Amino acid sequence: MKIHKFSIFCLFFVFIGTINNEAQCIAFARGVAKPKILPFVHDGNYNATFIEEGESAELYKTFFEGQTYRLVVAATETLPKNIRIRILNEQRKVMFDNAEHGYVYVWDFEAQTSETLIVHAKVPEGNPESPTIAGGCLAIMFGIKSDVKRK
């Protein structure tokens, strides 16, 4: 019985820690990534997660023909540099690879067709001799170009 209560206690703290990491990552996205969207209009979604070196994440996003978008990727300083960002279509054909463009973290593009694309982010492996694994927040956000003139 004591082991069962201890297990529940441990799971509770893992759950609370995960929620805390996600909340910190959302705050990071709001404070660091969102300003980089300007002058585009933020789409209202905060896509951010805690990730460690060697891991990857995928985000599915629908884009509409004729719209101009800005992709912004931001990572905390604790993550290795040169995070690889690829945009793939549903057949997993590479539409954009930031490794071919100096690992840029901001990319503007016009959707040629209406379709769901996959944003794939891969954090490089760290130093294999290091006893610790680096981790941090990774935010992937989008803006839409607005044709509305503001006064």
Structure confidence by residue, pLDDT tens digits, 41-56: 999 999 999 999 999 9
pLDDT of residue 142: 97
List of domains in the chain: 2-144 (2.60.120.380)
Q: Are the beta carbons of 65 and 99 closer than 8 angstroms?
A: no
Instruction: Determine the 3-state secondary structure of 73 from DSSP.
Output: strand
Instruction: Determine the 3-state secondary structure of 66 from DSSP.
Output: coil
pLDDT of residue 136: 94
pTM: 0.78
**How many Cα atoms are found within 13 Å in the side-chain-facing hemisphere of 81?**
3
Mean pLDDT of 61-75: 96
Q: In degrees, to the nearest 5, what angle opens at C-alpha 62 toward C-alphas 46 and 103? A: 65
Q: Are the beta carbons of 122 and 13 closer than 8 angstroms?
A: no
Closest CA to 54 of 126, 139, 128, 137: 126
Which pLDDT tens digit goes with each residue over 92-142? 999 999 999 999 999 999 999 999 999 999 999 877 777 888 899 999 999
